[in-house]
A and B are shown apart, each in its own frame.
Chain A
Amino acid sequence: MQVALFIIFGLLAVAGALNLLYQRHPINSALSLIVVMMSLAVLYFSLGAEFLAAAQVIVYSGAVMVLFVFVIMLLNAGEEVHTRGSKMAYIAGIPGTTAIFCILTFVFLKQRNALGATHLRDSLSGTSSNITEVSHQLFTSLLLPFEVTSILILVAILGAVVLARRES
């Protein structure tokens, strides 16, 4: 059953990604990306990362992608026009992409025995829930990075406000 879950949502994610690539209008690409993210949330869930699955849905799909959609609509972005860009993107890029994919796949397949398999619905430590473990780490040993990220977000807000402000 786990396998079926994986295959369905895996395929869905890949389909969504390919659709993102294929679509010409950015809004379609954005919606495809949301599909990808939702499928990934399910996969996180199947890997025992419930908190992250929730965060993926709430933050990533629910906030970041919504922001993307807002901007697309704000700027009234139309369909993509086919312009003559640079050939270098294809000349250097396609081999690069293919190389990355092939190398990564090669490594993972080579070591699949060492990697092992998943254990369904197993929490990591077996004693407490996933969220307890995550928060335990976050609020004790990783407290400083946690607080710094709040400042990071503050800076990002300020930056976004300044950058997008209309010149008066």
Chain B
Amino acid sequence: MQFNTNLLWLIPLLPFAGFLLNGTLGRKLPRAAVAAIALLFTLAPALIVADLWIYMKSAGAPITLSISSAPWLAVTGFQVNFAFAVDHLTLIMLGVITGVGFLIHIYSAGYMAHEEGYWRFFAYLNLFMFFMLVLVLSSSFLLLFVGWEGVGLASYLLIGFYFTKDSAAAAGKKAFIVNRIGDFGFLLAMFLLIANFHSLDFGDVFTRAATLPAPFTAICLLLFLGATGKSAQIPLYIWLPDAMEGPTPVSALIHAATMVTAGVYMVARCHVLFDHSAFALTTVAVIGAATALFAATIGLVQHDIKRVLAYSTVSQLGYMFLGCGVAAYSAGIFHLMTHAFFKALLFLAAGSVIHALNGEQDMRMMGGLRKRIPITYWTMTAGVFAIAGIPPLSGFFSKDEILYQTFISPNPLGKLLWAVGVLTAGLTSFYMFRLWFKTFSGKPRFDESAQEHGHGVHESPLMMTVPLMVLAVLAIVGGWVGIPMPFGHNEFEHFLAPVFGLKEGVDSSITLQMSLASTSFAVALVGLYAAWIFYVKHPGSAGALAKKFRSLYSLLDHKYWVDEIYGRLIVAPLLGISRFILNGLIDTGVIQGTASGLAGTTRGGGWLVRRVQSGNIRSYAGWLALGAAALISYILIHSQYSFSLVTTSFSFHP
């Protein structure tokens, strides 16, 4: 069969068309039309991607498809084209983005049905899809950066969707600015790439990297800095919890399934560069593991259901980076895919809970919802079990693959990182089941009468529950493509082999793999048991424990005071510099000084000349006399007649 490569252009451009339509006309159209446009322009790329999948999995299909257009930037020795390329890694990302994206679009049509600015929401959502698709389809760093920045913009717009709320606007700004810091690293990395390889095209860079020397460590660390910004790792993770100010579908799509995974994708894409620098890889792994543990500890004490999920996202992203850091790129991408399924599911289900409780987000005010919203309950259960790593759900396989690869990795820190990963898995299981119990079990802690006066606690409409069900199925079965080799064959790794190469490594004994897998499973069960003890069997014991270890609890509750530290150390000095030096000294002093100096000079000159126009007639007469004298002398000196006048001597005879 054939595939028309021109269709590749349509994949991102269709959502962009949706953005333009909804952005310009959406205000006037009825809600159904707005939703229809958005859904149509998201379904169409999904269908194209499906067609692409079929084609590329068929026999005799090429490993990569590419399409390129006219040069975008062409100077001597350096050229960048608009070019898309699709290989198996891109296919996975495309599938996740369009598939999960489409489901979330459907969900949003129901969730946002009563919100103001419906058209704006879908316009921004389509804009986001456009940029994200450009990001994964691009075959050069520059076009990837365009998508990178664009998703940051869309994220800012969507976080601050409720722009009348101060906290939402501030969260949007924070996300954008923190991302900017990461982008600075990305830019520097691109400059180094241009300097060393004279190209930004992936193909060129990766082939030249094999032979040419270059400061790989610097490049990779700078690229990773960009990734920490976009994918919320230490030190730039601080924007993600605040980003929960946005509507829940936004949190699901952007801050769980797609945008935050762009950093992981980028690191996986540049694995050729990272493989040259062991130091960079170790840094990636260490930061990934540290972030995973760090965020999990904070997530233990959060009360807002969305905050728990946000910190859990940061933690799981840490796992993905851990996987990439030990050069198990396909494991990292595998976890990316399963995480997209269950995290989107968790967020959407949380949204369903919030919707059922009329906007209540504090878990201390929930409980006893199991019988009232059954579909939400069962789908969320699937998500919780998946993320906790209970087999045979997807999360178990992907997380276990990463932990296994970490354990057997030749990196000297491998065992230590494995231990951190296992500990984090335990914590993850604990706080996710804590969330599960607090939300659904026990007696209802919400105000029953108030809810009855609202809509009453009711299940969400079909438009919201169908995507939940689809995602639940994916969360359950999605991991089966990655079942390790002893049991089936690791299809996933084989699928990505053309991109990453197969790890011809130590294929250790089945015993090791089984024992490691059992350790993960056991740790997950411990977490489940602990959560059950604290929140079901002895409901008050968590509070008592918190009081006993008050300082520790306070540290966690205040997120290790990181925001405050950043504020004092970084933001305040910068503000001071901006205000007093840049604004006061340079802007007001030098720049404005120059401008007003020029103006002052002109004014002074004008003042001087204006003295002639005194309004006093006698002064005019004076100037006249002077001018007449000047004229006469000029004529005298310059006339032919006076030539003899001047030269002959003057003698007076009376």
Contacts and interface: CB of A to CB of B under 8 A. Distances in A.
A21 to B, nearest CB: 14
Given A86-B616, A109-B652, A100 B629 contact: yes
A112 to B, nearest CB: 9
A110 B632 CA distance: 16
Interface string B631-652: 0110010000000010010101
A47 to B, nearest CB: 23
Given A99-B633, A100-B629, A86 B622 contact: yes
A111 B652 CA distance: 11
B633 A88 contact: no
B614 interface: yes
A106 B646 CA distance: 11
Interface in A37-85: 85
A100 B618 contact: no
A94 B529 CA distance: 112
With most chain A CB atoms within 10 A of its CB, the pick from B618, B625, B650 is B625
A95 interface: yes
Given A109-B652, A110-B650, A88 B632 contact: no
B621 A89 contact: yes
Contacts of B596: none
Contact of B636 (A86, A97, A107): A107
B629 A89 contact: no
B619 interface: yes
Contacts of B611: 88
B510 interface: no
A159 interface: no
Q: What DSSP secondary structure best describes chain A's contact surface?
A: helix
B622 A96 contact: yes
Contacts of A103: 629, 632-633, 636
A146 interface: no
Given A92-B623, A110-B650, A99 B629 contact: yes
B615 to A, nearest CB: 9
A97 B625 contact: yes
Nearest to B649: A110
A106 B648 CA distance: 13
Contact of B629 (A88, A95, A107, A110): A95
Given A103-B632, A110-B645, A92 B626 contact: yes
Contacts of B623: 88, 92
Nearest to A113: B653
Contacts of B618: 85-86, 88-89, 93
B638 to A, nearest CB: 13
Interface in B585-634: 611, 614, 616, 618-619, 621-630, 632-633
A161 to B, nearest CB: 25
Interface string B173-215: 0000000000000000000000000000000000000000000
A45 to B, nearest CB: 27
Nearest to A103: B632
Contact of A89 (B622, B627, B650): B622
Interface string A93-123: 1011101100110110111000000000000
A115 to B, nearest CB: 13
Interface residues of A, number: 20
Contacts of B626: 92-93, 95-96, 99
Contacts of A163: none
A100 B621 contact: no
Nearest to B646: A110
A81 to B, nearest CB: 14
Contacts of A85: 616, 618-619
Contacts of B632: 99-100, 103-104
A86 B624 CA distance: 14
A103 B628 CA distance: 11
Contacts of B625: 92-93, 96-97, 100
A95 B625 CA distance: 8
B175 to A, nearest CB: 68
A99 B628 CA distance: 9
Contacts of A99: 626, 629-630, 632-633
B650 A88 contact: no
Contacts of B652: 109
Nearest to B627: A96
Contacts of B629: 95-97, 99-100, 103
Contacts of A139: none
B636 A90 contact: no
With most chain A CB atoms within 10 A of its CB, the pick from B623, B626, B648 is B626
Interface in B86-108: none
A91 interface: yes
A109 B626 CA distance: 22
A55 B229 CA distance: 103
B619 A88 contact: yes
A91 B296 CA distance: 89
Contacts of A111: 645
Contacts of A100: 625, 628-629, 632
B636 A92 contact: no
A3 B390 CA distance: 139
B618 to A, nearest CB: 4
Contact of B619 (A92, A95, A104): A92
Nearest to B615: A86
B628 A96 contact: yes
A97 B86 CA distance: 93
A92 B622 contact: yes
Contacts of B648: 110
Nearest to A92: B622
Contacts of A106: 650
Contacts of B619: 85-86, 88-89, 92
Nearest to A98: B629
Contacts of B633: 99, 103
A86 B619 CA distance: 6
Contacts of B627: 96
With most chain A CB atoms within 10 A of its CB, the pick from B622, B636, B645, B650 is B622
A86 B616 CA distance: 7
Contacts of A110: 645, 648, 650
A111 B650 CA distance: 10
A90 B611 CA distance: 15
Interface string B379-421: 0000000000000000000000000000000000000000000
Contacts of B645: 107, 110-111
Contacts of A95: 626, 629
Interface of B: 611, 614, 616, 618-619, 621-630, 632-633, 636, 645, 648, 650, 652
Given A103-B633, A107-B636, 16 more contacts: A85-B616, A85-B618, A88-B611, A89-B621, A89-B622, A92-B619, A93-B618, A93-B621, A95-B626, A96-B628, A99-B630, A100-B629, A109-B650, A110-B645, A110-B648, A111-B645
Closest 4 interchain pairs by CB?
A: A96-B625, A93-B622, A99-B629, A92-B622
19 contacts: A85-B618, A85-B619, A86-B616, A86-B618, A88-B614, A88-B616, A89-B622, A90-B622, A92-B625, A93-B625, A96-B625, A97-B629, A99-B630, A99-B632, A99-B633, A100-B628, A100-B629, A107-B645, A109-B650
